[in-house]
Structure 1
Amino acid sequence: MMRIALIGIICFCILGCQQDTNKSKSKIKAKKETNSIIKKTPEEEVVIPSAGDADIDLSKVKTITQEELMPFLRDYFKKNNQRLFVIETRFGNIKIKLYNDTPLHTANFARLVELDYFNTTFFHRVSKNFVIQGGNSDKIVTHKFRNKIGDFLIPNEYMPMHKHVYGVVSAAKFTEQNVSNASSPFEFFIVTAKNGAPHLDKKHTVFGEVVSGMDIVHEISKVEVDDSEWPRQNIGIDIKPAN
């Protein structure tokens, strides 16, 4: 069976939140979006794909190790100057700008957009008057994608001029054994608190900001959620380069 370590753990303690996101539905469950596996014989497994879980060709996705990560991302940053992206949702579009002084996080995000990783994911966490968080799902394809991309963390790139103010884009992180405050490569959040979230400064890396569409962010922030802050109706996202 596939590894699921980057699912439940990657609720990532956005510090100060009211819910323990390790209880999140991001642990693979038998929902419509996941695959059911029926064992017919010891030699054969039949995978029955569920709705919205189309196969994706991952053969061209390069798997990156922790040792390769920093030179790889620095090189990608130099070669890719795309900094504006549009997050498309059923509520409307959110346009974000990524920063040049957080090159590792900016390059990683741009690469995931290029790979179409985010298009398999949701805004999977809505914490009222705090953040909306994206980049995860309970789809089998999402977790296959993560395994293929690699098992690594991005070094913290905290910059004093980039605070957790209203409307910034920041990186989620692991909660345990993470004294360096390194980031997950897969999940991000947008601060919706009008007074910001200053308790997150230094502990999470702010690497961008919303330049238009905060009205859409607020519509998403109003949706009904369960006890783990997972929206009761999934909010799919599709992220593309913007002009």
Structure 2
Amino acid sequence: MSFRYPFIIALLFLVILSCEDSKSKSTKTEKQKIELQKEKERKRDSLLKAVKIPKGGNNFSVDLTKIENLQQEQLIPFLTQYGKENPETLVEISTSFGNIKVKLYKNTPLHRANFIRLVKMGYFDTSFFHRVAKDFVIQGGNSDLQETHEVRHQVGSYLIPNEFKAENTHQRGAFSAAKYSEQNISKASSPFEFFIVQGKNGAHHLDNDHTVFGKVIRGMDVVDKIAQVEVDQSEWPKKNITMKIKVLR
């Protein structure tokens, strides 16, 4: 009996120590989570401040505090609702070569809503016509400026499901969505880049491979002028072709 009570006391002491250690680890983990969250917020604040400073001579300023970061799982309900609240279908692309007026199709609602959203954010004002392939297409929505990629990061990480329509083909003047070819068997579209078919015979080999979501209704002469610029080996214009896009109605 004399050895029994000290053993029980020792056992209770070990249990208490174990609980205290577990509590300490739990508290430490919670503190780490808080610190990680604070670090994310600090990086985000730094990003927001950086993007508001115009660079590259484009005279743009995108306020990322008003941009909702969109992820893939939210995409369809978000763009569906956004499309209802923002029904515009007519936009104008201004360049140093002149203006291009584009009519967006209502039968590609996700692509139309996404494009209108980016126009209203001012995203495209940070970008260029970055690819020119004469007698084929001119492509816009990207640049080598840091601001463009910072805005992309804040806008969200997602792809738009294809919205192929038999009546929307890659004829001359077609306004179509670029896509990433790697691991993209669903042929989903990039949310940021578009191209205009410039070739006189169209580019029908792209039908049902890229989503056509609009057409140029005025300014194909401007498209033709852009198609004549000098480019490097990667079809990037040697002189930056900046743009500003606005919603007309």
What TM-score results when the alignment is normalised by the length of structure 2? 0.76
Equivalent residue runs for 1:110-189 within 5 Å: 110-189=116-195
Residue of structure 1 aligned with 2:221, choices 201, 212, 215: 215
For the structure 1 residues 49 and 95, does the alpha-carbon distance in structure 2 shift closer, same or farther, using more than 3 Å as the test? closer
Equivalent residue letter for 1:106: R
Distance, in Å, in 1 between the alignment partners of 2:246 and 2:62 is: 17
Residue of structure 2 aligned with 1:66, choices 67, 72, 82: 72
Question: In the alignment, is the contact (CA less than 8 A) between 1:191 and 1:197 conserved in 2?
Answer: yes
Question: Following TM superposition, by how much is the alpha carbon of 1:52 offset from its aligned partner in structure 2, in angstroms?
Answer: 2.7
Matched, 1:95 2:130: no
Equivalent residue letter for 2:115: F
For the structure 1 residues 84 and 166, does the alpha-carbon distance in structure 2 shift closer, same or farther, using more than 3 Å as the test? same
Could you say which residue in structure 2 is the equivalent of 1:232? 238
Question: In the alignment, is the contact (CA less than 8 A) between 2:133 and 2:227 conserved in 1?
Answer: yes
Distance, in Å, in 1 between the alignment partners of 2:201 and 2:216 is: 16
Question: In the alignment, is the contact (CA less than 8 A) between 1:135 and 1:187 conserved in 2?
Answer: yes
The structure with the greater share of residues assigned to helix is: 2
Equivalent residue letter for 2:114: N
Equivalent residue letter for 2:95: T
Question: Following TM superposition, by how much is the alpha carbon of 1:178 offset from its aligned partner in structure 2, in angstroms?
Answer: 0.4
After TM superposition, the runs of 4+ consecutive aligned structure 1 residues lying more than 6 A away are: none
Map Cα deviations across residues 152-205 of structure 1 (whole Å, 9 max, x no partner): 000000000111111010000001000000000000000011111111011100
Residues paired across the two proteins, number: 197
Question: In the alignment, is the contact (CA less than 8 A) between 2:62 and 2:122 conserved in 1?
Answer: no
Q: Identical aligned pairs, as a percentage?
A: 57
Distance, in Å, in 2 between the alignment partners of 1:55 and 1:207 is: 27
Distance, in Å, in 2 between the alignment partners of 1:143 and 1:99 is: 27
Cα RMSD between the aligned structures?
Answer: 1.5
For the structure 1 residues 51 and 99, does the alpha-carbon distance in structure 2 shift closer, same or farther, using more than 3 Å as the test? closer
User: Structure 2: 5+ residue runs without aligned partners?
Assistant: 1-49
Question: In the alignment, is the contact (CA less than 8 A) between 1:55 and 1:141 conserved in 2?
Answer: no
Question: Following TM superposition, by how much is the alpha carbon of 1:51 offset from its aligned partner in structure 2, in angstroms?
Answer: 3.5
SS at match of 1:113: helix
Question: Following TM superposition, by how much is the alpha carbon of 1:49 offset from its aligned partner in structure 2, in angstroms?
Answer: 8.0
Could you say which residue in structure 2 is the equivalent of 1:205? 211
Matched, 1:78 2:84: yes
Distance, in Å, in 2 between the alignment partners of 1:61 and 1:81 is: 19
Kindly name which structure, 1 or 2, has the bigger radius of gyration based on alpha carbons. 2
Larger mean Cα displacement after TM superposition, 161-170 or 51-60: 51-60
Distance, in Å, in 2 between the alignment partners of 1:50 and 1:120 is: 9
User: Structure 1: 5+ residue runs without aligned partners?
Assistant: 1-46
Could you say which residue in structure 1 is the equivalent of 2:56? 51
Distance, in Å, in 2 between the alignment partners of 1:79 and 1:50 is: 32
The structure with the greater share of residues assigned to strand is: 1
Equivalent residue runs for 1:3-22 within 5 Å: none
Could you say which residue in structure 1 is the equivalent of 2:112? 106
Question: In the alignment, is the contact (CA less than 8 A) between 2:102 and 2:217 conserved in 1?
Answer: yes
Equivalent residue letter for 1:115: M
What TM-score results when the alignment is normalised by the length of structure 1? 0.78
For the structure 1 residues 66 and 148, does the alpha-carbon distance in structure 2 shift closer, same or farther, using more than 3 Å as the test? same
